[in-house]
Amino acid sequence: MDNLGISIVTIVIIAANVIMSFKGFDDRIFFEKYKFNVGSIKRGEQIRMLSSGFLHADITHLLFNMFTLYFFADAVVMILGSFKFIVIYFASLVFGNLLSLYFHKDEYWYSAIGASGAVTGVLYAAILLRPDMSLYMYFIPIPIPGYVFGIGYLLYSIYGMKNKIGNIGHDAHFGGAVGGYVVTLIMMPSLFTSNLGYVGLLAVPIIILFVLYKTGKLK
């Protein structure tokens, strides 16, 4: 199955996102019950840590996340297999929401939705496993090395967290990326030998975030 153009596990996850998102579009009560909300989670509704990752604000939000997942998921599945891919996906989703919960722990009104944390974790797993991959973006006429995109994206996420840019959960994106990074290295420690330079480069933004937080410059 994993040798097909798109793996069964990727299809299932995309289908789950589509079904839950469309249910949320049509049913506001359902949407409110399962979105990420700090106050509700602190009252014990832990299911929101997972369910919020399958809800989206609108079709554009859903399509962007699912297209990104489609392009990077099978690079992970083909190297690590379906089970480990699922572990990376859900670990990234939870880690992204945990980081959001940590940074917004006193903002009981704070809410968020979307698979971005999980998808970003998969993207970073793919970059670790295939650091030679190139990314193509419509507004940039040349291919971007995967590791350059990874570092740049995390640095932008830190900037977004620090300056509260846009209605975007930068902390969930960052947390998801870190989740994908850490879990992939745990699952395939040989990367410390085969791709040590890239492993080190992708760790730089994580260290910067830690230093900024410890020095109080991110609060």
- Greatest Cα pair distance in the chain: 50
CA 126 to the chain's CA centroid: 12
Residues 6+ apart with CB under 8 A from 88: 76, 80, 121, 122, 125, 179, 180, 183, 184, 187
48 touches 37 (CB < 8 A): yes
**Mean pLDDT across the chain:** 87
Give 169's Cβ-side CA count (13 Å radius).
Answer: 33
At residue 33, what is the residue type?
K
Placement of tokens 């480069």 in the chain: 201
Distance CA 104, CA 36 (A): 11
Condensed to tens digits (0 to 9), the pLDDT of residues 145-159 reads 878 877 887 787 777
Condensed to tens digits (0 to 9), the pLDDT of residues 34-78 reads 999 999 999 999 999 999 999 998 999 899 899 889 988 999 999
Confidence of residue 2 (pLDDT cuts 50, 70, 90): very low
Lowest-confidence segment of 2-6, 16-20, 80-84 by average pLDDT:
2-6
The confidence score (pLDDT) of residue 1 equals 39
Distance CA 85, CA 76 (A): 6
* Domain 8-214 annotated CATH 1.20.1540.10: yes
184 touches 125 (CB < 8 A): yes
Secondary structure letter of residue 156 according to DSSP: H
Placement of tokens 């650091």 in the chain: 131
Say whether pLDDT at 139 is over 80: no
At residue 122, what is the residue type?
V
Condensed to tens digits (0 to 9), the pLDDT of residues 88-131 reads 999 999 999 999 999 888 889 999 998 989 999 998 899 899 98
121 touches 54 (CB < 8 A): no
Structure tokens at 185: 């290295």
